[in-house]
Amino acid sequence: ADQASRVAQKIVEQLNRPLSIAGHELMATFSIGIALSPHDAKDGETLLRYADTAMYAAKEAGRNTYRLFQPHQSAAGRRRLSMEAALRRAVERQQLQFHFQPQLQYPQNRIVGAEVLLRWCWEGTWISPVEFIPLLEETGLIVEVGEWLVAEIVQMKRLWYRRGLCGDRFHRLAVNVSPVQLWRSNFAERILGLLEQHRDEVPIALELELTESSLVQPTPAILATFARLRKAGLRFAIDDFGTGYSNLDYLKRFPLDAIKIDQSFTQGCTGNHTDASLVTAICAMARGLGLSVIGEGVETLEQAEFLRRQGCRIMQGYLFARPMAVKEFEQFLRQRTGIQETP
């Protein structure tokens, strides 16, 4: 085990160095799992399964590291394999769901948009997105799911417009985009193809939410993707701002439209001096860069007022509305527009 650990550590040190490709420095992510013979198992099939289990333990530890197989990992590994199989079936049968959390202009409390949130119920239990989204990314299913999600919400928005549920100001729907999707060469083509079907009937008004880690490498291909989507009228927002990549250079390299203040800062801004200072600084920086600011995770009136004083006018959170299933969200829109449900 000691020798295997020493070899793994040398591999980790090598892989943690930047790679130079076509004049760009890139960082690879990796996870290493190790199973030993005859200590853990004697046959190759079992050893590979145990090494795979240890690899996922390394991923759960934050990636860019290694883990030796431990017996207690077996139960977690079996659950993960079962979950992956169930998730594949759910994707094939289009059994994933999406909820909507309204974004409102404060203090008028006027709805201006909504974030679309992916949900999955497995064996009668709602699985946290923190658990199943990484599985979708690792298996590549996130690409199929992402396209399905965009197609569904475009159809839904078309129906809402016909029924008069969107009002004068509710236009924007925000969807989260995984780096796995963004880095595909045909990402822009696929998204625009889905939107083109209903362009004449419904304003696009789609906002793509990206994490900071998605924007580490401004390659020409990625910048071209941004330019093409921006030209078509899409917006880009940084989700969970302040919790990811620390180099802010990407703010001037990418054509961004909005910053979403992470809920950990929002919820601490009225009781923690550091969080309050960070929120104030984020809002000031956004103003200087010409970016709009969205406060997420707003739970109290005090938090909303603090954000308002810093110039943040668009907010979402339990103070206004929790994420809602489709039917419930449609009823929410009816109440806002005063339109009665049609039989």
CA of 227: how far to CAs of 23, 190, 233, in Å?
Answer: 22, 15, 10
pLDDT for 64: 85
- pLDDT for the residue numbered 343: 47
**Does residue 30 share a domain with residue 101?**
no
Rg (alpha carbons) of the chain, rounded to whole number = 22
What pLDDT sits at residue 255? 92
Point out the least confidently predicted range of 4-8, 22-26, 270-274.
Answer: 22-26
Domain identity same for 22 and 155: no
The predicted model gives 3-21 an average pLDDT of 85
Same domain, yes or no, for 52 and 157? no
Token pair for residue 90? 């759910």
pLDDT in tens, 126-160: 999 988 998 899 888 999 999 999 999 988 988 88
Q: What gap in Å lies between CA 229 and CA 275, rounded to an integer? A: 34
Classify residue 342: in a domain, yes or no: no
53 and 110 share one domain: no
Q: How many domains does the chain have?
A: 2
CATH number of the domain bearing residue 38: 3.30.70.270
Q: How confident is the model at residue 263 (pLDDT cuts 50, 70, 90)?
A: very high
Query: In this structure, what token pair is assigned to residue 85?
Result: 């199989």
Residue where a domain terminates, one of 20, 43, 71:
71
pLDDT, residue 294, reads 97
Same domain, 65 and 100: no
Residues sharing a CB contact under 8 Å with residue 14, sequence separation 6 or more, in sequence order: none
Q: Give the residue-averaged pLDDT of 58-66.
A: 83
Q: Which residue has the tokens 């290493």?
A: 32
CATH of the domain at 327: 3.20.20.450
Share of the chain above pLDDT 70, in %: 91
| Other beta carbons less than 10 A from residue 304's beta carbon | 23
Spatial distance between the Cα atoms of 93 and 120, rounded to a whole number of angstroms: 12
| DSSP code per residue over 90-111 | HHHTT--EEEEEEEEETTTTEE
**Residue with the larger pLDDT of the pair 98 and 74:** 98
Strand-strand pairing, 235-241 and 172-176: unpaired
What domain range is 47 assigned to? 2-71
pLDDT band, residue 95 (cuts 50/70/90): very high
Q: Are 133 and 229 contained in the same domain? A: yes
Query: What's the pLDDT at 285?
Result: 95
Residue 154 near residue 195 (C-beta atoms within 8 A): yes
Query: Model's pTM, two decimal places?
Result: 0.80
Q: Which residues have a Cβ under 8 Å from the Cβ of 136 and sit 6 or more positions away? A: 87, 91, 142, 145, 178
pLDDT computed for residue 75 by the predictor: 72
Do 130 and 236 belong together in one domain? yes
Mean pLDDT of 107-114: 93
State the average pLDDT for the chain.
88
**Residue 62 is assigned to a structural domain of this protein:** yes
Buried b / exposed e over 237-252, threshold 16 CB at 10 Å, is bbbbbbebeeeeebbe
Q: From residue 316, how far is each of 201, 329, 337 by CA, in Å?
A: 28, 14, 19
| 21-49: pLDDT as tens digits | 666 667 778 899 999 998 888 888 888 88
- Please tell me the total number of residues recorded for the chain in this structure: 343
Higher-confidence residue: 310 or 222?
310
Q: What are phi and psi of 176, to 5 degrees?
A: -80, 140
What number is the average pLDDT over the span 270-288? 96
Task: Please write the tens of the pLDDT for every residue from 190-226.
Answer: 999 988 876 666 666 899 999 887 887 778 888 999 9
DSSP state of 324: B
Predicted pLDDT at 40: 87
Distance, first Cα to last Cα, the chain: 69
